[in-house]
Chain A
Amino acid sequence: MSVTALQHIPIGNKMLAALPAQEYQRLADKLEPFDLKFGETIYKPNENIKNVYFLNSGIVSFLTAIEKRSTLEVGLVGNEGMVGLSTFLGTTKSPNSAVVRATGIAWKMKATDFLNECRENILLSRIVHNYTHLLLIQLSIIGACNRFHPICKRLTCWLLMTSDRMGTGKFNITQQFISNMLGVRREAVAKAASSLQEKQLISYSRGNLSILNRAGLETIACKCYSIIKEEEQNYLN
């Protein structure tokens, strides 16, 4: 894709946006727009990572299998980050899977190009370092949240993070899907969702979920939500 064509698409990804225009243009030839389709697997555990993705919009989840029957979301990426970081850290295989859980657009780049650029472009490599640090913090907080917080708070936190990254308060999502993200039984999701509904914070029927009262949700969510959000907002400063 030519630089001129790229310039017509706003740089939604914060990592790329943090590069000076000149540095960004150097990368531009190697970036290709990529549609993130809901439910699509970007890579499976232990599969070779051939490309990296800088998200402009949408969400990609890192899922760990739990005892072969279910999954748990251990981390997530929106426009603050990238998918395929493992390549930078020295392995082309990731132990987790990466799955699109909200439709969006990403810039796709060959992993080999990405690594060459990181070697030559000190600014890019610094940004990737900063992102690695952010991801470590995010994984830690989500892990601790999983450990301590009741499902109702976790669901609230999860809905807010999802809504932030999608830029909307309305989404189609099944209880089964949420249960695979939060690593709890579907029944537990149903119960937590109905308690949020009773408080008129969300409406949820036939897979259509709408946030009705965002401020209300924020008061219920655990602090993990605001800590992660703050870290994300500041990580490139």
Chain B
Amino acid sequence: MSIPVKNDVLKNHLLAALPKQEFARLEPHLESISLTLGKAIYESGDKMTHIYFPTTAIISMLYIMENGATAEIGIAGNNGLIGSALFMGSESTSSRAVVQSSGDAIRVKAKPLQAEFDRGGLFQKLLLRYTQSLMTQISQTAVCNRLHTVNQQLCRWLLINHDQLETNKLVMTQELIANMLGVRREGVTIAAKKLQEKGLIKYARGTITMLNRKGLEAAACECYQIVIDEYERLLGEYIPINRNEYETAGNK
């Protein structure tokens, strides 16, 4: 934990969108924290102490079934936050939050967070709109899980991650992906192999390299676009949507 550098804080789009005055009020309460792959930020039912705004990390919200099976209900990277319960007047939630790509996040304690939220400025507006977009993400993930092939889901999931990474490389085990998608590890292996054969990704030693973004978009289900469009509709007026459009070697 340390006092963050302002340029790093601004990597989170929600924080970057704040007017000067609101940012200045929050600034003394911001802490920078490094998060490693697989770390649980909080468990289902835990008392939550902080809200997290990822800057380079990606954090996944998982719902845990009674038999221990997990399914991802939402993802937050530099476009989002983890811990909406805190500004909704609750201290815990029913999901687990796990780091799915290591990196940094900015966190704020519950009290100063609520104080700024209750002022009713743009901060509140952004957080409420983000919550609405999260609802769409959760519902659409449910639809996707119900209907779409592991292959399509994997493409959707890779694209979401890609949008929030600074590179086209994602360090990730098949086991973790299986936990996110709520499928068997074997299902992920087969799907990843198919994408590799099509030249869309390269998967070696726990690193997935996304080679052809357009190809992944074509192979994904519509769920990816629906969630992106909804985020843009709600937050586009405050947050520049800069999706990673770069062409990679594999695409030339």
Contact = CB atoms under 8 A, between A and B. Distances in A.
Interface of A: 62, 64, 66-67, 72, 74-75, 86, 88-91, 93, 95-96, 119, 126, 129-130, 132-133, 135-137, 139-144, 146-148, 183, 222-223, 227, 231
Contact of B63 (A88, A96, A143, A222): A143
A89 B88 CA distance: 11
B230 interface: yes
Given A72-B143, A95-B136, A147-B146, 20 more contacts: A62-B139, A72-B146, A74-B139, A89-B129, A89-B132, A90-B125, A90-B129, A91-B233, A95-B139, A95-B226, A130-B88, A136-B88, A136-B134, A139-B139, A143-B138, A143-B145, A146-B142, A146-B146, A183-B147, A223-B66
B71 interface: yes
A93 to B, nearest CB: 8
A140 to B, nearest CB: 4
A90 B132 contact: yes
Given A136-B135, A148-B69, A142 B142 contact: yes
Nearest to B142: A143
B18 interface: no
B85 interface: yes
A136 B135 CA distance: 6
B123 interface: no
Contacts of A140: 61, 63, 73, 94-95, 138
Contacts of B226: 95
Contacts, number: 112
Nearest to B182: A147
**Per DSSP, are chain A's interface residues mostly helix, strand or loop, or mixed?**
helix
Nearest to A94: B132
A144 B139 contact: no
Interface in B71-118: 71, 73, 84-85, 87-90, 93-95
B88 A132 contact: yes
The B interface, classified by DSSP as helix, strand, loop or mixed, is helix
Contacts of B212: none
B141 interface: yes
B174 interface: no
Nearest to B94: A137
B94 A90 contact: no
Contacts of A139: 73, 135, 138-139, 142
Contacts of B146: 66, 72, 146-147, 183
A227 to B, nearest CB: 7
A136 B66 CA distance: 19
Given A144-B71, A183-B147, A130 B90 contact: yes
